Structure 1
Amino acid sequence: MGKLLYGATMSLDGFIAGPKDDVSWLTEFLGPDPVADELVANVGSCLIGARTFRGDDPNAGTDQEGPFGGAWQGPQFVLTHTPPDEPVPDVTFVGDLRTGIDLSKAAAGDGYVCIIGADVARQCLELGEVDEVLVFVAPILLGDGVRLFSHLGGTKIRLDPPRVHETPNATSLWYSVRR
């Protein structure tokens, strides 16, 4: 069964999306990155939050639309209570987190289940289901938006020391969640 990995690009001040869920800021930080290439090659499925699925893909309408700038194709599981009327290729809509986790892990085989979306990641972290966290820290300060991780009242989740890699566009920090 696949490992759950929460992966995201984050501004230095902790935001994965700007105000009004804007992710257009990401485009200037996309580029060659061996850590991202390694991840994409090992993703078996994606578990995606509804807000992220319906959100602002900076590559919408291009051949780079979709997860990982269009570099990955495969089964996607979207958590939502309001699925669209029309089917979406390679997308399964699920109404509860447990079902989404189970289906995405089974579909991933030995690959990663990449969690996409801050709220679904928070829920998976709170359940103790996340195995690894990969953060690409971009050299920008956004000042406001959607945080990488936010939990009212606070939650401590221990991580092992990261594997670190630097490129001109970002510094990647790849952690294992301490059990």
Structure 2
Amino acid sequence: MGKVILDMSMSLDGFIAGPNVNCKQGLGEGGEVLHEWLFSGDIPSKFNDFFKLSRTNREVFDKSFKTTGALIAGRRTFDLTSGWGGSYPIQGIPVFVLTHDPPKEIPRGETAFTFVSDGIVSAVKQAKAAAEKNNVQVMGGAITAQQCIKANLVDEILIHLVPVLLGKGIRLFDPIGPEKIQLEKGDVIETADVTHLRYRILNSRNT
């Protein structure tokens, strides 16, 4: 059985986007710095040559998607990206979108989208079934990520920690509830522009 992995780029002070997020600024004001590591090299990803990374960053990025069988995102992320034009940048991976109001029209493309309106537990269950033995990656939206953590559905957290203090914007872990969540440190991979930190959640419902 695959794992449920929360995978996010984050500033040192805990933000995954800057303020004033909108369709023209999907990462908010100044938030684009959080994804610069995806384009700071000259080695294309094996999955999409749109991403050009340093050698080490490419290894981390490609390793993650090599073992990913399904993605979970929030409706806001879907809307901000205009549904990725119907084709998520990594082909062949179904995307499950958590929403109370499924869209009437979906952009035509290569990606299979499923809109889940009966909660995060159902979204994870459906994504895990689609992923089979591969991992489910939670990659879109702080609220969706927080719901997964609160429900103890996340097995691992992979943070791409960018050396910047945004000061304001959207925080990844605020709020996630009063209960302590015990973590076990995994890989720590440092590069010039980002540090990749992997943690295992010890009290996950899936373990």
TM range (shorter): 0.7 to 0.9
Q: How does 1:122-161 map to 2 (within 5 A)?
A: 122-151=146-175, 154-161=178-185
TM-score by length of structure 2 reads 0.75
User: What is the match of residue 16 of structure 1?
Assistant: 16
Query: What whole-Å deviation, never above 9, does each CA across 1:127-151 have from its counterpart, x for those lacking one?
Result: 1111000000011111111112112
CA RMSD of aligned residues (A): 2.0
Structure 2 CA distance, aligned partners of 1:152 and 1:4? Answer: 17
Residues 1:110 and 2:133 are matched in the alignment: yes
**For 2:121, which of 98, 109, 123 is the aligned residue?**
98
Question: Given residue 19 of structure 1, which amino acid in structure 2 is its aligned partner?
Answer: P
Paired with 1:175 and 1:44, the residues of 2 have a C-alpha distance of 20
- In the alignment, structure 1 segments of 5+ residues that lack a partner are none
Alpha-carbon offset, residue 18 of structure 1: 0.7
Question: Does 1:162 find its partner at 2:172?
Answer: no
Which one-letter code corresponds to 1:91 in the other structure?
Answer: F
Deviation at 1:162, TM superposition (A): 2.8
Q: 1:54 aligns with which of 79, 83, 98?
A: 79
Aligned length: 171
Structure having the higher Rg:
2
The gaps in structure 2 that reach 5 residues or longer are: 22-27, 39-52
Per-residue deviation, residues 141-179 of structure 1 (Å, max 9, x unmatched):
111111121126633211002310011221000111012
Match of 2:50 in 1: none
Structure 1 range deviating more: 4-13 or 116-125: 116-125
Q: TM-score, normalised by structure 1?
A: 0.86
Q: Give distance in 2, aligned partners of 1:144 and 1:125.
A: 22
Provide the C-alpha distance between the structure 2 equivalents of 1:98 and 1:153, rounded to a whole number of angstroms. 17
Report if the CA contact (8 A) 2:9-2:35 is conserved: no
Q: What do the CA deviations read for 1:4-52 (whole angstroms, capped 9, x no partner)?
A: 1001000111101111232433342222312222101111000111112
